[in-house]
Amino acid sequence: MRDLHALHRPLGSTGLNVSPLGLGTVKLGRDQGVKYPNGFTIPDDAQARQLLELARELGINLIDTAPAYGTSEQRLGPLLRGQRQDWVIASKVGEEFDAGQSRFDFSSEHTRLSVERSLKRLETDYLDLVLVHSDGDDLSILRNEAVYQTLAELKQAGKIRGFGFSGKTVEGGLLALEQGDCAMVTYNLGEQHERTVLDYAASHAKGILIKKALASGHACLGAGVDPVRASFELIFAHPGVTSAIVGTINPLHLAHNVAMAAEVIGQRTRRGRT
């Protein structure tokens, strides 16, 4: 198996079924203040459309964007026109990126404004998933700000189908899962301190999206070891993981990532049957 069509899985109890790899789209809209080992050129519309078509052909149906990803949302709207039923779209609230600087706003007013703006930019009347883009002070956001309650209200109103938190701490991830549907956590070969959050998700039917799955392109191992395979073997060995978000604009890298993920998950499935 070289694609992901037969490997879609439930995102917690949201009713959404997603591919085990999602396409991160920061590189479609932002090239400032990003932590990648090599520089890159933002692809033009033709290149972006080809990348999205390839992702869809390979069985990827989860796409990850955010207002903080520069012009990503604005570009995805027209690029995905006519394909809404083919994609699970995840966006975010809380972080804005202007003139090379991030700023954060977790108020109810800004949360509603942000979601409505994302709906307009993405040319859709609902978002499948909205995550809070944390500034690092996870517990303060969840306990003292209105953003999570506002997302719950937007879910009730049918504007979003699920909500969660993209944080930086174990405590934040656990609290986010208690009150929401999903958490996005860092988990890779070099950073596994949030594993407890994955454990909680596995036992409470919550969704987990992995960010920095390949350490933002920094994954590096000894000679003869494929870092992508090793990364996916770690990630997909954990039953709490729903999907890993990988941001690439290189079609060859995308196809390689999909083939490796399909192989690793397929091997795990076969071993589970024996």
Catalytic residue numbers read 69
* Whole-number Cα distances in Å, 158 to 121, 151, 161: 18, 10, 7
Q: Hey, what are 238's tokens?
A: 């954990």
* Whole-number Cα distances in Å, 252 to 20, 35, 199, 214, 235: 18, 21, 33, 16, 21
Q: Three-class SS string for the chain? A: CCCCHHHCEECCCCCCEECCEEEECHHHCCCCCCCCCCCCCCCCHHHHHHHHHHHHHCCCCEEECCCCCCCHHHHHHHHCCCCHHHCEEEEEECEEEECCEEEECCCHHHHHHHHHHHHHHCCCCCECEEEEECCCCHHHHHHHCCHHHHHHHHHHCCCECCEEEECCCHHHHHHHHHHCCEEEEECECCECCCHHHHHHHHHHCCEEEEECCCHHHCCCCCCCCCHHHHHHHHHHCCCCCCEEEECCCCHHHHHHHHHHHHHHHHHHHHHHHC
Cross-strand pairs, 164: 131, 182
